[in-house]
Amino acid sequence: MKPEFDDLTGEHTTGHEWNGIKELNTPMPKAFRIWLWLSIAVCVVLWILYPSFPTVSAYAKGVLGYSSRMTVAERVDEGQAQLAAAFAPFEDMDVTDLATAPTLKAMSEPEISVLYRDNCAACHGRDAQGQTGFPSLTDDHWLWSGTPEEIEYTLRHGVNSADPDTRYAEMPAFGREEWLERSEIVDVVEYVLQISGQEHDQAAAKRGTEVFDTNCVSCHETGGIGGLENGAPSLTDSAWIYGGDRSALRETLRNGRTGVMPYWTDRLTDAEIRQLTLYVYWLSNDAEN
């Protein structure tokens, strides 16, 4: 269909027709055309004045030579200054003094919790309750005591880690190394169940007492109360790292346990290590209070 003049509207048609409906060739309103050309003109001016198009090795810097890099650098410097001020106590003060500072916990704990979640939650859990193979940090059951200094040392050097000053703690594989007979393992497990307040075989536990005194007291101390100096846990409570039921205890005695705590001196600053030290200390002391 050829374009034609529409008598009703006074406009020409485009020549298109759908089911008897003809399309008018209605031009864009004049105001819209004006705004379009104005916006194009403004863009051209901005392209000339300010940085715009990339070139082969840089970009068109514009007549004004404006750059936001200086503003960003100033903001970064301001942020670093604020961060340094916030970290100053953790850089300079002894961790024991920090632990007893009256207002530090309320002021810093929310921010430090982010540091904990970024670095520690994968093993110890987001709520620090621990999981199989990784101890809870919210109670008062410690392998090397829960003083701020000892917590900081563990964070700095780790346990069974590659750090030359690491702490070492290993449960021997009494069964795999054939240091104990199978029957002796059964008996000593019953003894551990007894001293930890669980259901047990009384006769086997009595036999296991001698096995325990001969093979286990050097680390776990008499009565299984644990040795803070060598990282041997207490066996008289319900705080188990690998499980405290009969099956888990037998597995521990047969094949041993060697947990690894990484050292953080190469990954965190001194201030960040002290912050995590305090966070763990506060968690465990909250549990006591």
Domains along the sequence of the chain with CATH = 1-67 (no CATH), 85-168+260-288 (1.10.760.10), 182-255 (1.10.760.10)
Output DSSP code: residue 139: S
Strands 13-18 and 21-24: antiparallel
Segment 275-286 mean pLDDT: 90
Confidence of residue 84 (pLDDT cuts 50, 70, 90): confident
Q: pLDDT value at position 42? A: 96
Segment 212-228 mean pLDDT: 93
Express each pLDDT in 134-178 by its tens digit. 999 998 888 888 899 999 999 999 999 999 999 999 999 999 999
What's the distance, Cα to Cα, between the start and end of the chain in Å?
A: 91
Tell me the residue ranges of DSSP E strands in 38-137.
none
Segment 62-78 mean pLDDT: 90
Segment 226-254 mean pLDDT: 92
User: Sign of the CA dihedral 232, 233, 236, 241?
Assistant: negative
User: What pTM was estimated for this model as a whole?
Assistant: 0.70
Q: Is 250 helix (H, G, I), strand (E, B) or coil?
A: helix
**CB under 8 A, 24+ apart: contacts of 101-104:** 104/278
Place of tokens 């007549």: 63
Q: Is 199 helix (H, G, I), strand (E, B) or coil?
A: coil
**Among 132, 133, 131, 157, which residue's Cα sits nearest to residue 144?**
157
Count, residues in the chain: 289
Residue 288 has pLDDT above 80, yes or no: no
* d(C-alpha 210, C-alpha 204), whole Å: 11
* d(C-alpha 169, C-alpha 171), whole Å: 7
Of the candidate ranges 100-109, 233-242, 252-261, the one whose mean pLDDT is the lowest: 100-109
